[in-house]
Structure 1
Amino acid sequence: MPQIEAGNASETYWGNIQLKPFGQGAGTRLLPGGYTSPERFVKTAYQKTHIPLPKNRIEAVMAVFHLMESVSIPKGVIITERNTYDYTQYAALMNTHTCEYFFRTYDNSQIATASLWDRYEYSVRPICLGKLNRPVVFEKVPNP
């Protein structure tokens, strides 16, 4: 009989067909609203379509962080195959209109903000971040 566990569910067979778990959190798949990626995605999509429309940017930021709280993973709930914790280390969002980046970390739930634009001249001048120390390179990811 399947059990709920912090570790991952192991692969199993259905006849000759190998069934693999969805990923981290698969040991919680029997819980309502478990921690697999599909369960968390569906939960967030449902909640997003049912919250009231925010009246301003502050309400919007708060709403997004509350949505992300409902699917974050606390430390200790999911244990990886390497016997380490899989948990939500940070939550972040970006307002693409104002180029503001909002984030909070596992150890500090206060929302911090970083802006890429001069706060009073959103459409005029970005803040210079200086030269990149290394070039950005896009490479093809090999198939497993």
Structure 2
Amino acid sequence: MNDYRYTLIISQYYHSYHYFIVEFNKDTFVKQMQELTKELNKYKSGNKEHTDIEQSDPFYNYEDNKIRYRYNVNADGDIYFLNAKYVNWLQGQIREYQNTARQMNKGYKKKSVLDAIWEHHNYDKVFKIIEKHFTIA
């Protein structure tokens, strides 16, 4: 049994990343992750119905029923869930993703991409969706 206490949720859309450390609850985690995945992807996709997110990690039925350290969702922008016992380890993961985002942010960005990020990956809207399903640590 892993003694996870926190989850890092990373929402990515183009070169835009948002990071949230939330409290981990082993009894409700899978359901929370699934519901968040549905709602956040719906927002990021502009309410498109064609995206089959139930093919992603949060919906995979593992035979051993153990909660994994990491889950990925690859749809309209990615969502990553990383579980850990210590916040400082998750902060190190955030720094790694920030370095990746810095590299992706170099160069010219089309106005249409920037507009899409503003419309489908607004920090305040993503925060409200996360907060609805998890307790921010």
TM-score if structure 2 supplies the norm length?
Answer: 0.25
- In our comparison, the structure showing a higher alpha carbon Rg is 1
Higher relative contact order (CA 8 A, sep 6+): 2
The structure with more helix, counted as a fraction of residues: 2
